[in-house]
Amino acid sequence: MLLHIPEVLDAAQLARARSLLAEAPWSDGRVTAGTQSAQVKHNEQLPEGHPATQQLQQIVIDALAASLLFFTAALPKKVFPPMFNRYADAANQFGNHIDNAVRLVQHGAMRGGRVRTDISCTLFLAEPDSYDGGELVIESPEPSVGSQRVKLPAGDLLLYPASTVHRVEPVTRGSRLASFFWIESMVRRDDQRRLLYELDMQILALREAHGDTETIVGLTGTYHNLLRMWAET
């Protein structure tokens, strides 16, 4: 399931993030790449243990905690500490790759822990008209769907299955700034998460239109029974 969550970061959070990014040191993004990814990865990242990275991580984590739509879609069990990258000049693209199935946390309170990467997340930090290229291209496993190209406003978040082949197209002008991280979901299967999300959205729409009728209470019970059946906590 691809899901666009708008305005995860507000204007003040974006301004603070950009200020930190402007002053922070950038390093070769291949330092955190897997064997296959390192061959096609050409970007820059902030060092994971840098103080600016830690401040930026807190901004993103606080914003995620405030987003009910993020929780409904991801059903997060663990969130890999957000990282930050830049595509510009010669370090301007990331070819086709699949994210590692399990990531080891190297810094912070979760250091030494492992996160199964059910969901990949890209939080856009630069306005789309400030750079050319840089689209996130996700190859659907369904032949009828094909490639999906995404370039979102700053502050918006994209969730997509970590099992998909994806890439970042070359940036030919300006700088593409983003945060990227992974979610280990309480519900590991994408089709089950999709069903739960769609059911929850329908329940919310019905509740807004009709209040808590007996039928809506019953549907809410069905949602939670499905979650109880599938969730790993």
CATH number of the CATH domain containing 41: 2.60.120.620
Query: Structural domain of residue 175, as residue ranges?
Result: 3-185
> Is pTM, for the whole model, over 0.85?
yes
Looking at the fold, whether 180 and 199 belong to one and the same domain comes out as no
| In the chain, % of residues over pLDDT 70 | 96
Looking at the fold, whether 116 and 61 belong to one and the same domain comes out as yes
Q: Given a cut of 80, is residue 95 above it in pLDDT?
A: yes
Looking at the fold, whether 83 and 116 belong to one and the same domain comes out as yes
Instruction: Kindly report, residue by residue over 17-67, the tens digit of the pLDDT.
Output: 999 999 989 988 777 666 666 678 899 999 998 999 999 999 999 999 999
Tokens of 37: 């990814």
Looking at the fold, whether 69 and 94 belong to one and the same domain comes out as yes
* φ and ψ at residue 49, rounded to 5 degrees: -95, 5
Domain count within the chain = 2
Query: Quick one: pLDDT band at residue 144, thresholds 50, 70, 90?
Result: low
Looking at the fold, whether 60 and 138 belong to one and the same domain comes out as yes
Looking at the fold, whether 172 and 202 belong to one and the same domain comes out as no
Q: Which of 168, 185, 202 is the last residue of a domain?
A: 185
Give the per-residue pLDDT at 142. Answer: 72
Looking at the fold, whether 107 and 198 belong to one and the same domain comes out as no
Looking at the fold, whether 165 and 210 belong to one and the same domain comes out as no
Looking at the fold, whether 169 and 209 belong to one and the same domain comes out as no
Give the per-residue pLDDT at 6. Answer: 98
**For the range 109-116, what are the long-range contacts, defined as Cβ-Cβ under 8 Å and sequence gap of 24 or more?**
110/78, 110/80, 110/81, 113/78, 115/78, 115/79, 115/80, 115/182, 115/183, 115/184, 116/78, 116/184, 116/188
Looking at the fold, whether 181 and 133 belong to one and the same domain comes out as yes
